[in-house]
């Protein structure tokens, strides 16, 4: 089986963890060739932590010019997916988008899918912090109602546009700070609720998926409660996930799901558990 050459966009905490895992050799048939980040300072800091010599660049042109890269892994932000998705696919590279919130705009996903189909490429969207995605997809055409309630500590929500009015609030108990659609949720909390867009893509879309966000000062975990209703009955999923130590806005499960997606891409003939 041929070796897959990978490129990563973003060298923040998530990009660093995924880069380290790839360099550890734990993913068969995979090597990391290049990391792109438009922040030069962050690249310099990253260069001191990465164990193997790989190309680090702040030039997207240089990054995409590396012909041997056949999978680009985005670990930056929804804005990076919007800005670079088309360029990645047109440079004949498969694209793994960790920030699924970018696909809150269905036109973007359809546009990128069209390019990918023309070039026989793949767009990969990992399950992130959601369990049961396969079950949800299997009943997609029968779903009548979808809702997700996300509970996080204030520090996990800090900095989000939708949290601006609460930045100086001292929370003494749990409080609902958002109640609306997934489409609005990802715009107000772009680094926090990619999970709602991933759920929407597997179910009935961002406009029909209801999202509630609860800020709880006593919460030690990122909690997601999903309810799906249809003629089949009712499905309930509940996940209590430890926040990533370096980036509390996301769960470590989100990073693990990216790693698993990379493993499956690089080793499509290897079954789970082998």
Mean pLDDT, residues 4-14 taken together: 95
pLDDT, residue 6, reads 98
pLDDT > 80? residue 80: yes
Q: What is the pLDDT of residues 196-233, one digit of tens each?
A: 888 998 899 999 999 999 999 999 999 999 999 999 99
Q: What is the pLDDT of residues 101-124, one digit of tens each?
A: 899 888 999 999 999 999 999 999
List, in order of start, the domains of the chain with CATH numbers.
Answer: 4-128+253-266 (3.40.50.720), 133-249 (3.30.360.10)
pLDDT, residue 52, reads 77
Q: In what order do the strands lie in the sheet with 175-181?
A: 175-181, 209-215, 145-152, 222-230, 233-241
The Cα–Cα gap between 148 and 197 comes to: 11
Q: Is 224 a catalytic residue?
A: yes
63, 224, 261, 266: the active-site residue: 224
pLDDT > 90? residue 194: no
Q: What is the pLDDT of residues 120-157, one digit of tens each?
A: 999 999 877 676 787 888 899 999 999 999 999 999 99
In this structure, the strands spanning 55-57 and 30-36 are parallel
pLDDT, residue 8, reads 98
pLDDT, residue 255, reads 86
């Amino acid at each position: 089986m041929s070796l897959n050459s990978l490129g990563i966009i973003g060298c923040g905490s998530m990009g660093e963890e995924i880069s380290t895992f790839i360099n550890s050799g734990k993913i068969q048939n995979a090597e990391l060739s290049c990391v792109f980040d438009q922040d030069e300072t962050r690249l310099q800091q990253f260069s001191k932590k990465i164990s193997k010599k790989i190309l680090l660049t702040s030039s997207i042109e240089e990054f995409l010019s590396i012909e041997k890269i056949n999978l680009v892994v985005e670990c930056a932000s929804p804005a990076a997916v919007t800005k670079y998705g088309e360029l990645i696919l047109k440079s004949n590279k498969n694209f793994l988008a960790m920030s699924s919130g970018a696909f809150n705009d269905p036109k973007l996903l359809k546009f990128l899918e069209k390019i990918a189909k023309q070039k026989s490429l793949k767009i990969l969207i990992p399950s992130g912090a959601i369990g049961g995605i396969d079950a949800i997809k299997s009943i997609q055409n029968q779903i009548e109602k979808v809702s997700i309630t996300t509970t996080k500590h204030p520090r996990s929500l800090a900095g989000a546009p939708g949290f601006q009015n609460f930045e100086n609030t001292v929370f003494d108990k749990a409080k609902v700070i958002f109640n609306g659609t997934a489409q609005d949720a990802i715009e107000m909390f772009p680094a926090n609720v990619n999970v709602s867009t991933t759920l929407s893509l597997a179910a009935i879309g961002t406009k029909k998926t209801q999202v509630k966000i609860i800020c709880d000062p006593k919460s030690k975990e990122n909690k997601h409660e999903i309810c799906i209703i249809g003629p089949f009955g009712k499905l309930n999923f509940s996940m209590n996930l430890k926040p990533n130590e370096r980036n509390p806005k996301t769960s470590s499960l989100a990073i693990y799901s990216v790693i698993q997606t990379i493993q499956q891409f690089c080793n499509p003939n290897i079954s789970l558990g082998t």
